[in-house]
Amino acid sequence: MPFLGMNGVIFYFSPCRVNCSISTYAQTRSCFNKVMGFDQQLRQAEHYLAKTDKKLAPIIKNYGPCRLKPHTDHYGELVGSIVGQQLSAKAGATIWRRVLDLFNGRMPTPEQLIRIDGQKLRDAGCSWPKVGYMKDLAQHVLDKRLDLKHIATMPNDQLIEQLTAVKGIGEWSAHMFMIFGLGRLDILPVGDLGVRKAIMNLYGLKQLPEPAQMITVSNKNNWHPYESVAAWYLWQFLDNSPKKQTRHSV
């Protein structure tokens, strides 16, 4: 993983990203985060992308610093993302408040979500499929099929596999959680319509790119290991950020 040090010197830090153990990956991420704080990593990402991608450079200059802000409320983020699926920010917030009211204004524990009568969640405004999704998420957390203890340091592929095993969480939702919730900087959200439109417009493609073509564009313009930051600027380019779909706006 390249990052720019003082005087423009490029250092290389190489985490094991595929087929590595959780402990190895966790140690690598921990080491890197100790070397650089998250905001500093964003500044380095902006500098790196501006130098490697001439089409992205003026967008980075125009929109200023990337404002990704990861957090540690992983379980709450996932529950909230299910509640807010396919809703406007206003409608999602209203239903979310109603859900919390069922639990005295607090985030329900997985046990509480499993015990509560589904009709109460339905009456709060959640569709029946979403009621099932929330209960399935709670069960995955309880039996540790979704390992929240190691979620922040789990390798990308393994984390996507665990997230998408939960009903109602697809690859797009997993990517959004990894970018906006965990602050993973190396996620290319290949299923996001906004990023697809921005790539088509910015790089002169004749039609919306499929995932393979998006990866080609990313590789050609050397986005790795900062695909998430590139995507953030592409969203700004279209004024189409999905941040409103999460509980933790940026």
| pLDDT over 70 (residue 33) | no
Q: How many CB atoms lie within 10 A of CB 54?
A: 9
Given a cut of 70, is residue 241 above it in pLDDT? Answer: no
**Distance separating alpha carbons of residues 99 and 82, to the nearest angstrom:** 12
**pLDDT value at 229 more than 90:** yes
Confidence (pLDDT) at 202: 97
Mean pLDDT of 228-239: 96
Better pLDDT: 125 or 250: 125
DSSP element (H, E) containing 171: helix 171-176
Q: Nearest Cα to 184, choosing from 133, 231, 249?
A: 231
| Assigned domain for 8 exists | no
**Once rounded to an integer, what is the mean pLDDT over residues 214-226?**
98
Residue 239: what pLDDT?
82
14 within a domain of the structure (yes/no): no
* pLDDT tops 60 at residue 125: yes
Write the Ramachandran bin of 102: left for phi over 0, alpha for psi from -120 to 50, otherwise beta.
alpha
What local confidence, expressed as pLDDT, does residue 5 receive? 35
C-alpha separations of 131 from 42, 106, 144 in Å: 37, 18, 20
Q: Are residues 125 and 158 in the same domain?
A: yes
Backbone angles phi, psi at 151, to 5 degrees: -65, -30
When pLDDT is averaged across residues 200-213 and rounded to a whole number, the result is 98
Are 147 and 188 within 8 A, CB to CB?
no
- The pLDDT, as a whole number, for residue 32 is 52
φ, ψ of residue 11 in degrees (nearest 5) = -105, 155
Contact criterion met (CB below 8 Å) for 1 and 32: yes
**Contact 38/221 with Cβ under 8 angstroms?**
no
Structure confidence by residue, pLDDT tens digits, 138-159: 999 999 999 999 999 999 999 9
Residue 48 in contact with residue 68, Cβ under 8 Å? no
Per-residue model confidence as pLDDT tens digits over 51-90: 999 999 999 999 999 999 999 999 999 999 999 999 999 9
Q: Residue 192: CA atoms inside 13 Å, Cβ hemisphere, count?
A: 25
Both 143 and 106 in one domain: the answer is: yes
DSSP symbol at 175:
H
**Do 170 and 81 share a structural domain?**
yes
CATH number for the domain harbouring residue 100: 1.10.340.30
Tell whether 107 and 82 lie within a shared domain.
yes
Percent over 70 (pLDDT), the chain: 81
Asked if residue 141 belongs to a domain, the reply is yes
Question: Same domain, yes or no, for 105 and 54?
Answer: no
Structure tokens at 232: 């953030």
Mean pLDDT of the chain: 87
Domain range for 116: 74-181
Last residue of a domain, one of 127, 147, 181: 181
More confident position, 25 or 159? 159
Give the pLDDT of residue 1.
Answer: 40
Q: Does 84 lie in the same domain as 173?
A: yes
- Which residues, 6+ apart, have CB-to-CB distance to 139 below 8 Å? 110, 114
Same domain, 152 and 211: no
Which of 85-89, 124-128, 216-220 has the least mean pLDDT? 85-89
* Cβ contact 237:73 at 8 Å: no
Which pLDDT belongs to residue 180? 96
Please give the residue that has the higher pLDDT: either 21 or 96.
96
C-beta of residue 3 within 8 angstroms of C-beta of residue 31: no
| Number of domains comprising the chain | 2
Domain final residue, candidates 181, 214, 233: 181
Q: What pLDDT sits at residue 183?
A: 97
Indicate whether 79 and 153 sit together in one domain: yes
Quick one: 176 and 219 in the same domain? no
Read off the tokens for 47. Answer: 């500098």
Q: Exposed, middle or buried: residue 204 (CB in 10 Å: 0-12, 13-18, 19+)?
A: exposed
